[in-house]
Chains A and B, each alone.
Chain A
Amino acid sequence: MTGLKAAGFPERAVRARARNGTAEVFPPADGYGAELYGAEAASGTDALDRARIAPPVFMPRRLEKLIELGREPGHDDVDLRTEVGGFASELPLFLSAFGSTRAGSGDLGVAASRQAARLGIPMVIGENMVPVHGYRRAGADGADGARSALLARIAAYTEAVPDGVGGVVVQQSTEDADSEVWNLVYSDPGTRPLLESGRLAFELKTGQGAKPGLGGMTVVGRAEGARLAGRFTVRDVLGGGSAADADPAGAEGAYLLRCATPGTFTEEIVRQQLRFMRNNFPKARTWVKFHPGRDVAQAAATAWRAGADAVTVDGAEGGTGWAPRVFLDQVGLGLADCLRLIAARTAGAGADRPDAAVDCLLATGRMWEGGRAVRALALGARAVGLGRAALIAVDEDPQEGLVRLAGALALEARLLISALGKYTADALDAEDLWWPGGGRTPVGAGTPAAVPGALS
């Protein structure tokens, strides 16, 4: 090096790429398995968080509640129970998929499942669990009686969930189709209680917020990479370093990138795949998850018309899994934009779709507290998903962490909704938000930046 300087230019990043090549496209690989990725909002807020929650002075709905109760209503009178994708839920919340990130597929995933069940909220289990982790097999040793991550999570949930609420949603992506995850789950005796009580759903996964347009990615050691190479693209782009810290299976010394395909979707493919799901698994509910694409409103409308019980939109702020930095920083629409696009289309669809009001829209992306959840609900979501927040919460306390986190969120939501003079979660409306610049429509939208949030 000559000491050449380039003020005003991202010199450090260019030098890092000159040293480390493609490894710099990603966050440091030695953090894999101990860090949750996904975007963090620039300067503390993103477009959704910049909207202020704006109570009115005159509250005719509070008067309605006063008459109903015969006393002044308080925040405890807010009913947060709702219907989420065909399931009864105690809160307008669900546990999001953790994907195949290793942080989410071990004990933390099981702890989160159990607590979601106790809360009476639905749980989504992520893609690639079966092709990566196996179905019956718990680990490479295939010990007797051992259960896969997927079955362990379903069992933990089923044991703890009260009657009549909640539900389990199992994703399948294009590569999962090779392992026929839905078929396995649908015919497994262990899922029969869920199926018979109408609490099993399948989610067609078409993409994710953290890397719109790409499939799932994980970091694997060489040994695991060789095992997965037949079914996934496994590439040596992460540079050297000892993988032993992050992955005992990869003690030989280098990280590999495992990529799943996102699959190809058109309007007709989405429509027909949903029909196929409903035909083949008539007792299961049908969910769809979309990445924050620019045509997300059209995609959502297509799915609802094809009979989807829920459409989840994952904002660009979302994700727990590994992703290239450029995707975390620069790709996909923010959640606020997604929700507004869908609301605008739904509003314009009234005539030809009289049932649009019952369409179930679910929102995910950096959810953790009541304010952001209430904003998403006001923009049309029926419920919001907890992903990273849930994993951090159960990491903090595997017994009560998620229950406490959801309790705090629920209290905030009750306070906010009652302050708006409303007493059910689905009464929230776009009128309840005030956007910077003064008005009921947002001005501009921030671009989230990526910072990994370390697990304690």
Chain B
Amino acid sequence: MEQSSVPMPPPLGEHLRSPELRAAMLVQQEALYAAREFLRGQGFTELLPPLVGPVTDPGGRGAKALDVDYYGHPYKLMTSAILYKQASLRGFPKLFYIAPNVRVEPEETAGTGRHLVEFHQIDVEIAGAGRQDAQDVAAGMLTHIVEHVWTAVPDVLRELGREELDFAELRSGKFDACTHEEAVARLVSGGHPQSPDAEIDWAGERILSLEADRPFFVNDYPKGSRGFYDREDPEHPGVLRNFDLLAHGGYGELVSGSERESDYATIVTRMRESGENPAKYAWYLDLAREGIPASAGFGMGLQRLVRFLTGLDALWQVSAYPKLPGVVAP
């Protein structure tokens, strides 16, 4: 397992008193301030996301949703609010959430340093937008956040060992891009066994991230590696109009995003392709039948962002109440 040297959390009381957590929370509140400032400046409206619902993002990579008994109905805690983001577009064509998510991740992800069961996303959706538009917003927001934290709390970052120079390329607005196919080829030629049909695995993401000196987009993931709501490229069947944004320096994925599927019949078909029973998505499909606007959007992992900004080793160090996969914690 990668990063097996990552330290494990101390008892909660001790963790809450640690100077690293205090520093991380100062950086986090500046990052949230900057994210809201940037998005509101671009005409976005902040909504508060739902916490439970009859269905949630079915996700992938073996992560589970938690069940809730809701007046006798089986409800789920939100693994992501993607379905609600799409549903909200008719009233709010540019919207965002700071959304709490719960994903019961496979236990083997406990050692990646990049997974928590409870985490937050800066969740953005834009009606009528394409992938490039979403990427522009993601890159603009990340640049603005980095600029802001280095202006607002530079001493905190330096105290944690961060150097301003590490962010120079990013702050000048330079982002690279490659396709999933190219990323797979690079990993395979370097001796890492990466499946061409799957998401880039954790170890592979880390390799790519360590090789880079600025953040980079990975585009065009294969169908079957992502949820039914990521739009398939009509020009290239089997390829999705989606992307990840990976940070440099070994920090890996910060953002997942995509153009969304909005055609009712295609959504139903894609649900079947991902093994879902469309009947349980009734509320969402009813709206899709009425018409959901075409859109693109993304979610930026808040804790992953703060870890990248602070340079701390593990995601639990930037969460006040960390829950690691497979570890029973308060």
The residues of A with any CB-CB pair to B shorter than 8 Å are 172, 174-175, 177-178, 180, 183, 186-187, 204, 261, 263-266, 268-269, 271-273, 275-282
Contact = CB atoms under 8 A, between A and B. Distances in A.
A187 B274 contact: no
Contact of A279 (B225, B269, B276): B225
B177 to A, nearest CB: 23
B61 A276 contact: no
A396 B280 CA distance: 42
Given A183-B64, A187-B62, A276 B277 contact: no
A454 to B, nearest CB: 36
28 contacts: A174-B277, A175-B277, A177-B276, A177-B277, A178-B280, A186-B62, A187-B107, A204-B275, A263-B272, A263-B277, A264-B272, A265-B272, A268-B273, A269-B269, A269-B272, A272-B273, A275-B197, A275-B223, A275-B224, A275-B225, A276-B60, A276-B274, A278-B198, A279-B197, A279-B198, A279-B199, A279-B224, A279-B225
A272 B62 contact: no
Interface string B54-69: 0000001110110000
Contacts of B276: 177
B224 A276 contact: yes
A277 B62 contact: no
Contacts of A280: 60-62
Contacts of B61: 279-280
Contacts of B156: none
A276 B64 contact: no
Nearest to B104: A187
B282 to A, nearest CB: 12
Interface of B: 60-62, 64-65, 104, 106-107, 195, 197-199, 222-225, 269, 272-277, 280
A432 to B, nearest CB: 38
A175 B277 CA distance: 7
A180 B62 CA distance: 11
Contacts of A279: 60-61, 197-199, 224-225
9 smallest beta-carbon distances between A and B, as pairs:
A275-B224, A272-B273, A273-B275, A269-B272, A279-B198, A183-B64, A272-B224, A269-B273, A177-B277
Contacts, number: 67
Contacts of B65: 180
A174 B199 CA distance: 24
Contacts of B222: 275
A58 B107 CA distance: 58
A278 to B, nearest CB: 7
Contacts of A263: 272, 277
Given A186-B106, A268-B273, 6 more contacts: A268-B269, A273-B273, A279-B198, A280-B60, A280-B62, A281-B62
A354 B272 CA distance: 30
A451 to B, nearest CB: 35
A278 B197 CA distance: 9
Contacts of A261: 277
Contacts of A277: 275
A27 B276 CA distance: 33
B62 A276 contact: no
Contact of B275 (A187, A276, A282): A276
Contacts of B274: 272-273, 276
A351 to B, nearest CB: 22
A263 B269 CA distance: 12
B236 to A, nearest CB: 15
A282 B199 CA distance: 12
A111 to B, nearest CB: 32
Most A CB contacts (10 A, CB to CB) among B104, B106, B199 go to B106
A177 B107 CA distance: 21
Contacts of A174: 277
A187 B106 contact: yes
Contacts of A187: 62, 64, 104, 106-107
Most A CB within 10 A of own CB, among B104, B106, B107, B272: B272
Given A178-B280, A183-B62, A186-B62, A276 B199 contact: no
A282 B64 CA distance: 15
B17 to A, nearest CB: 33
Contacts of A183: 62, 64
Contacts of A269: 269, 272-273
Contacts of B199: 279
A441 B281 CA distance: 49
Contacts of B197: 275, 278-279
Nearest to A174: B277
Nearest to A175: B277
A400 to B, nearest CB: 39
B130 to A, nearest CB: 24
A28 B157 CA distance: 76
Residue of A178, A183, A266, A279 with most chain B CB atoms under a 10 A cut-off: A279
Contacts of A172: 275
Instruction: Name the residue among B60, B225, B273 with the largest chain A CB count within 10 angstroms.
Output: B273
Contacts of B273: 268-269, 272-273, 276
A180 B79 CA distance: 15
B195 to A, nearest CB: 8
A271 to B, nearest CB: 8
A272 B61 CA distance: 15
B263 to A, nearest CB: 16
A172 B195 CA distance: 24
Nearest to B201: A282
Contacts of B280: 178
A280 B199 CA distance: 10
A187 B223 CA distance: 24
A272 B223 contact: yes
A163 to B, nearest CB: 23
Nearest to B224: A275
Nearest to B222: A275
A351 B11 CA distance: 61
A273 B224 CA distance: 7
A408 to B, nearest CB: 39
B108 to A, nearest CB: 9
Contacts of B269: 268-269
Q: Which of A175, A266, A269 has the most CB of B within 10 A?
A: A269
A271 B60 CA distance: 16
A289 to B, nearest CB: 14
Contacts of A264: 272
B319 to A, nearest CB: 22
